[in-house]
Amino acid sequence: MPLSAVDPARYPELLAAKCERVNALLAPFSPPPPEVYPSAVEGFRMRAEFRLWHDGDALDYVMFRREDPATPVPIKRFPIACDRIRQLMPQLQDALVHNATLRRKIFQVEFLCTLSGDALVTLVYHRRLEQEWEEAATRLASDLRVSLIGRSRKQKIVIGNTFVNESLQVQGRDFRYRQYEQAFTQPNAGVNIAMLTWACERGASLGGDLLELYCGNGNFTLPLACHFDHVIATELSKTSVRAARENLAENGIDNVQIIRLSAEEVSQAIRGDREFRRLAQLPRPLADYDLRTIFVDPPRAGLDAQTLKMACDFPAILYISCNPQTLAENLATMCHSHRIEHFALFDQFPYTDHMECGVLLLKK
């Protein structure tokens, strides 16, 4: 997103236009009028990544335009970032400029922060990091009050933690999350809370057990577990599975089983095409669960054909989509057997064309 697109005064107009485009795209499936959840107009991003550009004594955060990927654009202000990132950016820049050990052959920096102000900074280099670097980086982490990770080829040095701790309030309860460096997390915490709340409100009356695919670090799993008897949540990433299990334990949630399976493998297991030893972790056979609802938050490609077919066998489908186009493609199948009961639009990425959608579909 070019920073020139950031225009808080025009945000309501830009949001309305984006909603209109998504409504037109999904109109053939007769959804009800959407519930629209706007973003804060500034300070909403909890993650940021920049290249670092060396020019004599100057060192700048830069980004590149898609139409001109060879020309660096210095970033002097980054208004979409949260307060903690905006505070850290000049402090880190000044420290790197004045420390040759930290500065030499650095080419990228990544920030990961939380609503509570916890912060992790990753510095990426084109050279091997020696003891001198680690000593300087340890002082820097202390000065900035952050965890810090140094990365170079086949090397990772951790000072502090490899994660940040987040707390999100959903329906009056604080849910605590451990979010790992370079693992997926929702970038807009305020809109994420709106998404979690909407999903819980929609799921509260469905009853029975829940099957969740693509559960990640348990972002939706934790609050949704309060509304179902049992939850089977699946995820393929080892880091995310570990985080999800840690987050469940931290929050004292004991009605969720996390299984490391892909969506395609879950489809095969539900149909009985294959047996997976990993399912032996379940307290009872998969067929003995009262799985009435499936919750999916798939990647931009949407649901594959096998998973889509499996989802259509459930009485209720809760679907969070980061790509309205692939959601429309999936709805073309799902709406043969289901109707859209609820529809929501979540503006995770203001000033861009991207829109997050939520739909609850019930069997006709």
Tens digit of each residue's pLDDT (9 = 90 or more) over 73-132: 899 999 999 999 999 999 999 999 999 999 999 999 999 999 988 999 999 999 999 999
Say yes or no to pLDDT of 356 above 90: yes
Say yes or no to pLDDT of 158 above 90: yes
Say yes or no to pLDDT of 1 above 80: no
User: What residues does CATH 2.40.50.1070 cover in the chain?
Assistant: 47-164
pTM over 0.85: yes
Q: Which residues contact 93 (CB under 8 A, 6 or more apart)?
A: 59, 60, 61
Say yes or no to pLDDT of 63 above 80: yes
pLDDT of amino acid 4: 66
User: Of 166, 181, 235, 356, which one is the catalytic site residue?
Assistant: 356
User: Of 312, 322, 335, 357, which one is the catalytic site residue?
Assistant: 322
Confirm if 263 and 233 have CB atoms less than 8 A apart: no
Distance CA 95, CA 100 (A): 10
Determine whether 226 is an active site residue: no
Fold classification of 3-41+186-363 (topology level): Rossmann fold (3.40.50)
Distance CA 182, CA 176 (A): 19
pLDDT of amino acid 3: 64
Domain with residues 47-164, CATH architecture: Beta Barrel (2.40)
Sequence-ordered alpha helix ranges (H) in 110-251: 131-144, 189-203, 221-224, 238-250
Distance CA 96, CA 101 (A): 8
User: What residues does CATH 3.40.50.150 cover in the chain?
Assistant: 3-41+186-363
Residue 356, amino acid = E
Determine whether 329 is an active site residue: no
5-56 pLDDT, tens digit each? 899 999 999 999 999 999 999 999 999 999 999 999 999 999 999 999 998 8
